[in-house]
Amino acid sequence: MATALKIASNITGLRFAEEESIGVLPTSPAPVWYPLEPNSYDDFGGELTRIARNPINPSRQRKKGNIVDLDSSGGFETDLTQENLQRILQGFFFADLRTKSEKSVAVISGSPLAYQVTAGTDFEAGDLIAGKGFVSSANNGLGLVTASASGSVTRTGLVAATGQSGIVSRVGYQFASGDAEIDASGVFPRLVTTAKDCTDFGLIPGEFCFLGGDASITQFATVANNGWVRVKSVGTDFIEFDKASDTMVTDAGTGKTIRLFFGRVLKNELGTTIKRRTYQLERTLGASETTQPTQIQSEYIVGAVPSEFELTLNTADKATCSLMFMGTDNEQRSGVTGVKAGSRPALVESDMFNTSSDIKRTKLAVVSNNNEAPLPLFGFITELTMTINNNLEPNKAIGVLGSFEVTEGTFQIDASMTAYFSDVAAVQAVRNNSDVTLDFHMVQGNAGISIDIPMIGLGDGRLNVEQDQAITLPLSAEAGTGAKYDPNMDHTLLMVFYDYLPDLADA
């Protein structure tokens, strides 16, 4: 047989599967190996530690020793897209994604056309839903639910495609004409309604939403009332906001069918809702024999616990992420043995987030108890890095090569940024140890991501003054829980993934 003299990196691949328990893959059902798109790797594999014998002897030579330890780890860098990291980020947050409503459906014939829901329905008239995975692109778009019954959902915009199946998720709600209004008379503004129970949306404190649709009838006449809003509290007849794109004003919403968009939420959880996930990372390495091209070699990081995640935004660039895992062991498999059992779905193509045109809002401001739109500490930034660190520690023991477990530490969020200086208020916020909050929002192709850090403390803050250059301000940030101001804001970091956003969010 002809042996390959070399193997090119471009034929390698990377996938991950969730373990049943640390180091153990599920057997029934078989694991699903989800694809990833690495740009580069960092310390992927097992690092072995040897100790040689070195007795006192006339030859002054060491004797062959042995392998005494193994450190297993795997890291890679990838572009941030709408879909590629949602599933695996749950591991870094030690949490489940909080979805609103999501169902597998098929298009059924009739007048009007409808989705057939496999079991019951979580959708009702007025819901805004978006489909994905349908062959007919029209059935993947945004639709308004006009009727709902057990096993059937009727929505606008469906086209004839009987038997086509896909996934439908609830992405928002359209209030009845004149039912949604803004009441700005209190400490914080509220969206008030009489006909809709707002607790049905499943919104939680700290979650960002987007107010306003593309048609003028679906947005408030007062421009300041449309845009990004953060939920402070929810009641049966109101949603209170403590962050907004602008200072909101009272608006009756007369004759308006206001649209509200929301997404699935990921945040660090408390108590019994904390959920640790462990994975196996699979890197395929091509075939070692040219006559057996289908016999693919592979290596695995086993018992991989998510360790560190870093999101980087640089000027005139793409948003990139670095992910690092700490494992208990690593394995290699020959082409004859083959890769591990399980299904391997195809990669879902998705566009990257462009830091020049897809970052729609970045705001750092002092936390306010009575102002949903405090003045930002800066106008523009040149770079931003946010890091999650789970502070893992491998558990070593006699009789074990590698680790038998991994212990997680503090969920730590840090950030660093460089801003264009315009006001000494930013420098004073550092000196005064002010409580500061940061949020930023990305939109690309009618979908997007919001990231919110409710409370951070700033460091550094020394102005960088260079000849013929704009003055810049480097800042470091350490995040903590936001419960100091709101007991319900009990998290350090929260992300929202929107399956659909209107064009207005991309303006």
Q: What is the pLDDT along the chain (507 residues), one digit of tens a residue?
A: 567 777 788 889 999 999 999 999 999 999 999 999 999 999 899 988 888 888 888 888 888 888 888 899 999 999 999 999 999 999 999 999 999 988 888 887 766 777 877 666 778 999 999 988 888 888 888 999 998 887 788 888 888 776 678 889 999 999 999 999 999 999 999 999 999 999 999 999 999 999 999 999 999 999 999 999 999 999 999 999 999 999 999 999 999 999 999 999 999 999 999 999 999 999 999 888 876 888 899 999 999 999 999 999 999 999 999 999 999 999 999 999 999 999 999 998 889 999 999 999 999 999 999 999 999 999 899 999 999 999 999 999 999 999 999 999 999 999 999 999 988 888 899 889 999 999 999 999 999 999 999 999 999 989 999 999 999 999 999 999 988 888 889 999 999 999 999 999 998
Per the CB < 8 A criterion, the answer to whether 456 and 477 are in contact is: yes
pLDDT of residue 471: 94
Whole-prediction pTM value? 0.94
Greatest Cα pair distance, the chain, in angstroms, is 99
How far, in Å, CA of 453 to CA of 92, rounded?
16
- The residues pairing with 111 across neighbouring beta strands, listed in sequence order, are none
Q: Is 224 helix (H, G, I), strand (E, B) or coil?
A: helix
Angle at 438 (CA atoms; ends 353, 445), nearest 5 degrees? 25
- Residue of 274, 242, 243, 266 whose CA lies nearest to 86: 266
SS (H, E, C) 305-338: EEEEEEEEEECCCECEEEEEEEECEEEEECCCCC
How far, in Å, CA of 208 to CA of 243, rounded?
9
Q: For residue 143, give every residue at least 6 positions away whose Cβ sits within 8 Å of its Cβ, in sequence order, or none.
A: 128, 129, 130, 131, 155, 156, 157, 158
pLDDT of residue 391: 98
Per the CB < 8 A criterion, the answer to whether 184 and 249 are in contact is: yes
How far, in Å, CA of 335 to CA of 315, rounded?
43
Q: How many CB atoms lie within 10 A of CB 236?
A: 10
Per the CB < 8 A criterion, the answer to whether 108 and 152 are in contact is: yes
Per the CB < 8 A criterion, the answer to whether 352 and 321 are in contact is: no
How far, in Å, CA of 361 to CA of 489, rounded?
21
pLDDT of residue 120: 60
pLDDT of residue 119: 62
Per the CB < 8 A criterion, the answer to whether 303 and 19 are in contact is: yes
Per the CB < 8 A criterion, the answer to whether 454 and 483 are in contact is: no
pLDDT of residue 349: 85
* Cα four-point dihedral sign 331, 337, 340, 343: positive
SS (H, E, C) 250-284: CECCCCCCCEEECCEEEECCCHHHCCCCCEEEEEE
Q: For residue 27, give every residue at least 6 positions away whose Cβ sits within 8 Å of its Cβ, in sequence order, or none.
A: 20
- Residue of 116, 122, 107, 83 whose CA lies nearest to 345: 83
Q: For residue 418, give every residue at least 6 positions away whose Cβ sits within 8 Å of its Cβ, in sequence order, or none.
A: 381, 382, 383, 464, 472, 473, 474, 475
pLDDT of residue 290: 74
How far, in Å, CA of 92 to CA of 305, rounded?
8
